[in-house]
Amino acid sequence: MSRTPLDTVEHAAATPDVELPWAELGLKKDEYERIVEILGRRPTGAELAMYSVMWSEHCSYKSSKVHLRQFGEKAPQSDALLVGIGENAGVVDVGQGYAVTFKVESHNHPSYVEPYQGAATGVGGIVRDIIAMGARPVAVVDPLRFGAADHPDTKRVLPGVVAGIGGYGNCLGLPNIGGEVVFDACYQGNPLVNAGAIGVMRHEDIHLAKASGAGNKVVLYGARTGGDGIGGASILASETFDDAKPSKRPAVQVGDPFQEKLLIECTLEAFKEKLVVGIQDLGAAGLSCATSELASNGSGGMRVTLDDVPLRDSTLSPEEILMSESQERMCAVVEPEKVDRFLEICEKWDVIATVIGEVTDGDRLEIYWHGGKIVDVDPRTVAHEGPVYERPYARPEWQDALQADDANKLPRPETSEELKDQVLKLVSSPNQASKKWITSQYDHFVQGNTVLAQPEDSGMIRVDEESGLGVAIATDGNGRYAKLDPYAGAQLALAEAYRNVATTGAKPLAVSDCLNFGSPEDPAVMWQFAEAVRGLADACLQLGTPVTGGNVSLYNQTGEAAIHPTPVVAVLGVIDDVARRTPVAFQEEGQLLYLLGDTREEFGGSAWSQLVHDHLGGLPPQVDLERERLLGEILISASRDGMIDSAHDLSDGGLIQAVVESSLLGGKGARLVVPDGFDAFTFLFSESAGRALVAVPRSEEVRFNDMCGARGLPVARIGVVDGDAIELQGEFALSLEELRKAHEETIPALLA
């Protein structure tokens, strides 16, 4: 029990001189002064707790907001967009009355501290965002980045992260269908654990996070509230209110996927019976976020009795209850006459549900504790009117030198033997090697709708069993490219994800992004961020794929060393009939191999330059978005009309990486010929964008060539699917057996 008097609104007004630990809670002096100005008095402890978490970088986007506006300002006209930025997740129309919601988020910092729980709760959080939109979650994807593959700490972090993602996602019954695993020393100490999820619903089922209708009840349901996930609150609690309590709270939340599975089923059942007016999940900032966002997005105010919140630990202070990030909780706004039925459904699923407040006709968020009013704020000032910073940014001095250090001038293999060695070295390197050891820890069959999963170019899920309507998702990012040129790097990430979706036969519709950067207080990092956002917004406009939402993760740095700027882009696409999807694997011997697009001498930021020369310099590959669009159209038409049997996007590692993957997956070799005008090295290793490898049945050769010719897409016949080796005429041959060993044994050897 508190020994000091309860810090009510009244008490705060009467004791203006009480010092509050705003600095320990991460607030700046001017931010604290602004809170005092907004309230016209000092905040209560509870109010301070709410403002401090909601005005944190993570919740308020205070450093990134001024740049992120471009995603709205430059948004392309899109008939597909049903709900845009600002809600829990964007919603896209995929036809036949279906809507799809998807989003990518980061859980970087917690995953470094506690890999298993950090990664697990990352999955849990993104899935609740999807449920909160009214959708049934149907798949997850996980773009991951770790330090050097052979660094001892990677062996601590990676297996934990993978087990956490699997442990949570598998238990929820969500197929894991895509993502990436990238190793680079720049992520040592700052692994990037991004998590994406997709949900499907009917148009009429879209739900929004708003509390409207005075008298409607606010229901908190799911797990009890505990002391986990409280960052600064422990300071608040121990210094100001009560020092007799345990002060060390785990800052990383602990996940309970079983509870979340129940939450999914019970929420969907409540949606089905139309019991829910508004809904919000409890993630970062917990109840502070849910109550202030629901209230500020609705028409009225809200009154909450904090004593009614079910607790796991009865000693929690009101500040801690407001800041707790205990997982697996949701908040719904329900009309009074429907509350009983709502509670009944929760009981059916053994989910604890409690009415904790109601919507009022005022415009204040009022929170009570032990009969005293401890919060009385305008919820908009908490949720939406936080500080906005115009952080200084400047192109770093080293950028010119970095770009001048041309990778195209690096020594290249001089003999066939060297070329062959470098091919083997490439496909067995941790970044290019098979990630089966990782992905086999994820369930990709559950729900019975998985058409494609990693290592395919995009994950694909059937949405409608009758019509075969499906959606595809790919996530991509290349921090090395972005380091060389953040504007181009962000565009290349989008281009690659767009291409990956089109390669499987789906039409790209919309984008979500997870922007992982260093400290915004470093002008160089801020410049990288500003450039990346500008590049991505410009490219989305040109490709006609709006950004529907996403997440920013800053402060990914240790000391002065920031990670490579790493914008990760997810592209969602739609396919009318999943039976027309195009897989990566070679299907039949004798089919002709074509290289689509232009191949240039482009090695800046390439896998080859990193692997062979440990080099990062020069310029990333050229961006040509019109070419990406054309390539996409050709791939989609060819898939729809049955002109290609397999296709693979070309990206890091170049053509040879793609051929090896398609060969190994199909168990069929290839004979390749270097086309006129190319040298073998550039042919195999260049990372020029806007390219794909396709296998064309002989019967379709003329039709396919005519289509590419008529539409102006450069196409070169480079070989044939054949045999049990990959042979480059006049240079070398590598047996599939040797390649499989090289490609598949690396990761288990490092991590198992």
Q: What residues are annotated to the active site?
A: 58, 107
Q: At what angle do helices 486-503 and 625-640 cross, to 10 degrees?
A: 10
How many angstroms separate the CA atoms of 728 and 424, rounded?
13
**Shortest Cβ 440–another protein spacing (Å):** 5
Residue number, 257 or 479, with CB nearest to another protein: 257
Three-state DSSP string of 642-704: CCCCEEEECCCCHHHHHHHHHHHHHCCCEEECCCCCCCHHHHHHCCCCCCEEEEECHHHHHHH
- Return the residue matching tokens 């053994």: 350
**Shortest Cβ 584–another protein spacing (Å):** 13
Three-state DSSP string of 314-339: CCCCHHHHHHCCCCCEEEEEECHHHH
Residue number, 62 or 668, with CB nearest to another protein: 668
| Cis check: omega of the bond before 21, within 30 degrees of 0 | no
**Residue 711 CB neighbours (<10 A):** 12
**Shortest Cβ 32–another protein spacing (Å):** 43
How many angstroms separate the CA atoms of 638 and 635, rounded?
5
Residue number, 450 or 548, with CB nearest to another protein: 450
- Return the residue matching tokens 């005092």: 36
**Shortest Cβ 146–another protein spacing (Å):** 17
Residue number, 263 or 718, with CB nearest to another protein: 263
CB hemisphere CA count around 565 (13 angstroms): 28
Give the interface with another protein as residue ranges (CB under 8 A): 163, 166-167, 170-173, 256-259, 261-262, 349-350, 439-451, 462, 465, 578-579, 581, 752
C-alpha distances out from residue 180 to 139, 443, 461, 638, Å: 15, 16, 18, 26
Residue number, 710 or 752, with CB nearest to another protein: 752
Element holding 550 (H helix, E strand): strand 547-553
How many angstroms separate the CA atoms of 659 and 654, rounded?
9
Residue number, 154 or 259, with CB nearest to another protein: 259
3-state SS assignment for residue 357:
strand
CA 318 to chain centre: 32
List, in order, residues 6 or more apart from 33 with CB less than 8 Å away: none
> What length does the chain have?
752
3-state SS assignment for residue 306:
helix
How many angstroms separate the CA atoms of 167 and 86, rounded?
30
3-state SS assignment for residue 186:
helix
**Shortest Cβ 636–another protein spacing (Å):** 18
The answer to whether the CB of 160 falls within 8 A of the CB of 121 is no
List, in order, residues 6 or more apart from 385 with CB less than 8 Å away: none
Q: Which residue spans within 169-313 are E strands per DSSP?
A: 176-183, 192-202, 217-222, 278-281, 301-305
Q: What is the DSSP string of 118-152?
A: HHHHHHHHHHHHHHHTTPEEEEEEEEEEES-TTSH
- Return the residue matching tokens 């006129």: 676
**Shortest Cβ 443–another protein spacing (Å):** 5
**Shortest Cβ 344–another protein spacing (Å):** 13
Q: Which two tokens stand for residue 302?
A: 């809200």
**Shortest Cβ 262–another protein spacing (Å):** 6
DSSP-assigned letter for residue 75? P
Q: Which two tokens stand for residue 695?
A: 């296998």
How many angstroms separate the CA atoms of 212 and 221, rounded?
19
Three-state DSSP string of 578-598: HHHCCCCCCCCCCCEEEEECC
Q: Which two tokens stand for residue 327?
A: 């997982």
Residue number, 408 or 467, with CB nearest to another protein: 467
**Shortest Cβ 586–another protein spacing (Å):** 15
How many angstroms separate the CA atoms of 596 and 715, rounded?
5
Residue number, 172 or 659, with CB nearest to another protein: 172
Residue number, 222 or 479, with CB nearest to another protein: 222
Element holding 379 (H helix, E strand): helix 379-383
**Shortest Cβ 170–another protein spacing (Å):** 6
The answer to whether the CB of 471 falls within 8 A of the CB of 100 is yes
Sheet holding 725-728, edge to edge: 646-649, 692-696, 592-596, 715-721, 670-672, 725-728, 732-735
Residue number, 144 or 655, with CB nearest to another protein: 144
Residue number, 258 or 388, with CB nearest to another protein: 258
Residue number, 21 or 173, with CB nearest to another protein: 173
**Shortest Cβ 551–another protein spacing (Å):** 27
Sheet holding 301-305, edge to edge: 278-281, 329-334, 217-222, 353-360, 301-305, 365-369, 372-377
Residue number, 222 or 386, with CB nearest to another protein: 222
**Shortest Cβ 668–another protein spacing (Å):** 16
**Shortest Cβ 167–another protein spacing (Å):** 7
